[in-house]
Amino acid sequence: MAMYIRVKRNKTTYFVQCDPTETTLNIKQKLQNLIDQPSNNQRLSLVATNDILDDSKTLAEQKVENDAVVALALRKAYWMEGQHLSKNENMGLSNVSS
């Protein structure tokens, strides 16, 4: 059964059509085409619970339902080049406005 999730980053919202049996990695691959960022640079978390979504689990397993709001965070380029940042700096979620 098809559903939609709202993926938010800063002031941008992406409406992603998906299926509850899709994995988080599948969603990241869909986003990769929209935002021009590889899936391994993305972190998704469910806004309602603040849980980080596991790439290998399905949306249903993680209780992501139709019209769920998911926050997207991107790794910073200089972090990926080997410079160390605190967890909050390199993986902190963007401020999501309603």
What tokens appear for 70 in the block?
């998911």
pLDDT the model gives residue 84: 44
Q: What is the CATH number of domain 3-91?
A: 3.10.20.90
pLDDT value at position 86? Answer: 42
Q: Is 9 helix (H, G, I), strand (E, B) or coil?
A: strand
Which alpha helices (DSSP H) does 1-98 contain, by range? Answer: 24-35, 77-80, 87-91
pLDDT of res. 77: 59
Q: What count of other Cβ atoms lies within 10 Å of the Cβ of residue 59?
A: 24
CA 60/CA 71 separation, integer angstroms: 17
Report the predicted TM-score, pTM, of the whole model to 2 decimal places: 0.75
7-21, 47-61, 67-81, range with the lowest pLDDT? 67-81
Assign 74 a pLDDT band (cuts: 50, 70, 90): very high
Give the per-residue pLDDT at 1.
Answer: 82
pLDDT at 6 over 80: yes
**Which residues face 62 on adjacent strands?**
none
